C-alpha cells in the first residue's frame, strides 16, 4: 500500500483510551512506521475531499471528532485485528484524490482487508466502486440515501450524479444498484422511472422503517455499501438546521450498518457527506456507532458465500407459470436464496448459477403463484 496517500492519526485522540477501542487498533501514528497490515481484517481511513459537493461549504473539516468517539467505545467480543490508516488529503485535483481512494480500496481488497471509508462528498463512492475494476465478477452496489444520485450523466460528475456516471462509464462492472431509504420529494419522476427501467431496486424510507428486515437480502447480495448521512434524520444527528427532519433514526441506521457487516459478500463500506456542519457530539457519536455495528456484523458472518456451504443448503422447487423456481435454505442460519438462471453466454462476468438472497416470504409467495419482484428484475437484467 502506498504510504504517501495517508496522513497519520493524531495520537492525542487515543489518550486515556485504556482498554477501549483506541488501544485495540493498529494505528498509523506520526512517530511510528506505517503499520504492518498482516492479519488485519478491517481498515478504517478518512478522505478529506468535498470539491464536487454541489452545496460545498468553505469551512475545513476533519474526522477527529468521529475518531475520538470511536476510540472511546468498548470493543465487542471480536477476534480479529483492525487498523486506522489515517486520512487521505485532497490531491492537487479531484482526480488525484479519486486515484488515491481507488488504489487504497483496491489494495485492501487484494489483501483480504475490508476498508471502512469515512468521506466528505459522496462522489467518493465512485472511486470506491472503481476499485472493483479488477474484480472478475460483476458487482452489486447498495446506497443508503434519501436520493438516487443518478443525475445527468452528460454533465460533470458531482455528489448528485455519480451513480449516472457509474452506469455509463467503462468498464461496465455494475450488475445491480439498490437504493435504501429514498424520499420521493427529493427525487424527480424522471429518476424514479429510470430506476424502474434499469431494473434497479428502490426502497422508500417508510417501507424500510416499517419493516427493516425487508432489506436484509439486498444487503446480503451487495459487494460495496455506501451511506449518505443525508439519509439520517436531523434529530438523530443533532443537526436540525441543515438536515431533513425525516430520515432513519439512530437505531435504524445502526441496524442497516450491521446488516452490511454481516453480509458475507460486502467487501467495502463507506460513510459519506460528513462536513464541518456535522461536527457535533451527537453526529460524531452516531457515525462512530455505525462503524461499531458494521464491525459487529462482520464478527457474526456465517461464511455461507462459499461452494462448500451451499452444498449443505436445502433445495426446494416451486412450479409457477412456465417456470420452475428453485429456492435454497441454509440449515445453519435459516436464510433463503433463489436461483437465477444463466442466460447470456456473452457476459463472462456473470456466474453460471447465481443465487439471489431472498426471504422465506418470497418462497411462500411463490408457493401461492406470486413471482418475487427481485427475482424478476434480476432475471431481466441477466437477459439484457
154 shares its domain with 289? yes
* pLDDT bucket at 43, cuts 50 / 70 / 90: very high
95 shares its domain with 156? yes
Distance between CA 263 and CA 294 in Å, rounded?
10
Lowest average pLDDT, out of 36-45, 283-292, 351-360, goes to: 351-360
Average model confidence (pLDDT) for the chain? 92
Lowest average pLDDT, out of 181-195, 210-224, 309-323, goes to: 309-323
Residue 312 scores a pLDDT above 60: yes
Predicted confidence (pLDDT) per residue in 212-253, tens digit: 999 999 999 999 999 999 999 988 988 766 678 999 999 999
93 shares its domain with 8? yes
- Provide the Cα torsion 122, 261, 362, 148; round to 10°: 0
167 shares its domain with 68? yes
Region 33-52 average pLDDT: 96
169 shares its domain with 272? yes
Residue 270, CB-side half-sphere exposure with 13 Å CA sphere: 31
311 shares its domain with 261? no
Cβ-contact 226, 144 below 8 angstroms: yes
Instruction: Read off the pTM.
Output: 0.94
Say what the pLDDT of residue 229 is: 95
Say what the pLDDT of residue 16 is: 74
CB proximity list for 210: less than 8 A, separation 6 or greater: none
Per the structure, the complete domain to which residue 317 belongs is given by 307-383
Distance between CA 252 and CA 260 in Å, rounded?
12
- Return the closest-CA partner of residue 329 out of 372, 361, 371: 361
Residue 131 scores a pLDDT above 70: yes
Residue 349 scores a pLDDT above 70: no
Region 366-375 average pLDDT: 95
Residues 229, 234, 239, 244: is their CA dihedral positive or negative?
positive
Say what the pLDDT of residue 366 is: 97
Residue 269 scores a pLDDT above 60: yes
119 shares its domain with 237? yes
Residue 342 scores a pLDDT above 80: no
- Choose one of 268, 299, 330: the last residue of a domain: 299
Q: Three-state SS for 158?
A: coil
CATH of the domain at 115: 3.40.800.10
Number of domains the chain contains:
2
For 25-73, give the DSSP string.
SEE-BTTSPPPP-TTEEEEEEEE---TT-TT--SS---SHHHHHHHHTS
What ranges in 72-188 are assigned the alpha helix state H? 94-110, 124-130, 162-168
Say what the pLDDT of residue 153 is: 86
Residue 348 scores a pLDDT above 70: no
Predicted confidence (pLDDT) per residue in 318-340, tens digit: 999 888 999 999 999 999 999 98
Distance between CA 100 and CA 131 in Å, rounded?
10
293 shares its domain with 319? no
Region 13-18 average pLDDT: 81
253 shares its domain with 181? yes
Residue 2 scores a pLDDT above 80: no
Cell 490531491 -> residue: 91
- Choose one of 240, 275, 299: the last residue of a domain: 299
- Return the closest-CA partner of residue 89 out of 34, 48, 43: 48
For 213-265, give the DSSP string.
GGGHHHHHT-SEEEEEGGGB-HHHHT-TTTS-S-SB-HHHHHHHHHHHHH-SS
Cell 467487501 -> residue: 267
Residue 347 scores a pLDDT above 60: no
Lowest average pLDDT, out of 15-24, 105-114, 292-301, 368-377, goes to: 15-24
Give the C-alpha distances (Å, rounded to integers) separating 272 from 1, 74, 103, 242. 23, 24, 18, 15
Residue 160 scores a pLDDT above 80: yes
Say what the pLDDT of residue 369 is: 96
Cβ-contact 302, 337 below 8 angstroms: no
342 shares its domain with 374? yes
255 shares its domain with 114? yes
- Choose one of 279, 299, 319: the last residue of a domain: 299
Check residues 242 and 131 and name the one with the higher pLDDT: 131
Say what the pLDDT of residue 384 is: 65
205 shares its domain with 99? yes
Cβ-contact 36, 49 below 8 angstroms: no
Amino acid at each position: 500500500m502506498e504510504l504517501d496517500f495517508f496522513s497519520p492519526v493524531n495520537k492525542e485522540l487515543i489518550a486515556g483510551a485504556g482498554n477501549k477501542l483506541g488501544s485495540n487498533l493498529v494505528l498509523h501514528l506520526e512517530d511510528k512506521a506505517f503499520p504492518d497490515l498482516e492479519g488485519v481484517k478491517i481498515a478504517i481511513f478518512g478522505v478529506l475531499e468535498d470539491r464536487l459537493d454541489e452545496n460545498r461549504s468553505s469551512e475545513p473539516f476533519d474526522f477527529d471528532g468521529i475518531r475520538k468517539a470511536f476510540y472511546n467505545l468498548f470493543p465487542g467480543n471480536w477476534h480479529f485485528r483492525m487498523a486506522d490508516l489515517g486520512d487521505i488529503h485532497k490531491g492537487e485535483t479531484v482526480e488525484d484524490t479519486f486515484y488515491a481512494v481507488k488504489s487504497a480500496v483496491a489494495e485492501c481488497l487484494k489483501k483480504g482487508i475490508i476498508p471502512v471509508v469515512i468521506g466528505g462528498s459522496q462522489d467518493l463512492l465512485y472511486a470506491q466502486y472503481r476499485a472493483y475494476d479488477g474484480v472478475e465478477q460483476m458487482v452489486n452496489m447498495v446506497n443508503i440515501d434519501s436520493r438516487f444520485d443518478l443525475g445527468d450523466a452528460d454533465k460533470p460528475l458531482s455528489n448528485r450524479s455519480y451513480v449516472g456516471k457509474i452506469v455509463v462509464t467503462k468498464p461496465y462492472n455494475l450488475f445491480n444498484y439498490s437504493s435504501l431509504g429514498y424520499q420521493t420529494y427529493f427525487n424527480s419522476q424522471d429518476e424514479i422511472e429510470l430506476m424502474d427501467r434499469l431494473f434497479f431496486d428502490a426502497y422508500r424510507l417508510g417501507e424500510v422503517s416499517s419493516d427493516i428486515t425487508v432489506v436484509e437480502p439486498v444487503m446480503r447480495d451487495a459487494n460495496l455499501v455506501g451511506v449518505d448521512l443525508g439519509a439520517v434524520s436531523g434529530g438523530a444527528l443533532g443537526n436540525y438546521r441543515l438536515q431533513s427532519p425525516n430520515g432513519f433514526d439512530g437505531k435504524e441506521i445502526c441496524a442497516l450498518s450491521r446488516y452490511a457487516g454481516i453480509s458475507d459478500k460486502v467487501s467495502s463500506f463507506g460513510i459519506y457527506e460528513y462536513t464541518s456542519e456535522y461536527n457535533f457530539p451527537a453526529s460524531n457519536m452516531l457515525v462512530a456507532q455505525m462503524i461499531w455495528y458494521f464491525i459487529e456484523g462482520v464478527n457474526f458472518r456465517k461464511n455461507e458465500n462459499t461452494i462448500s456451504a451451499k452444498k449443505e443448503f436445502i433445495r426446494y422447487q416451486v412450479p409457477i407459470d412456465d417456470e420452475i423456481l428453485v429456492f435454497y435454505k441454509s440449515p445453519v442460519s435459516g436464510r433463503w436464496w433463489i436461483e437465477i438462471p444463466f442466460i447470456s453466454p456473452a457476459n463472462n462476468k456473470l456466474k453460471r448459477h447465481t443465487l439471489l438472497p431472498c426471504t422465506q416470504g418470497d418462497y411462500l409467495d411463490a408457493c401461492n403463484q406470486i413471482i418475487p419482484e427481485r427475482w424478476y428484475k434480476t432475471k431481466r437484467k441477466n437477459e439484457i
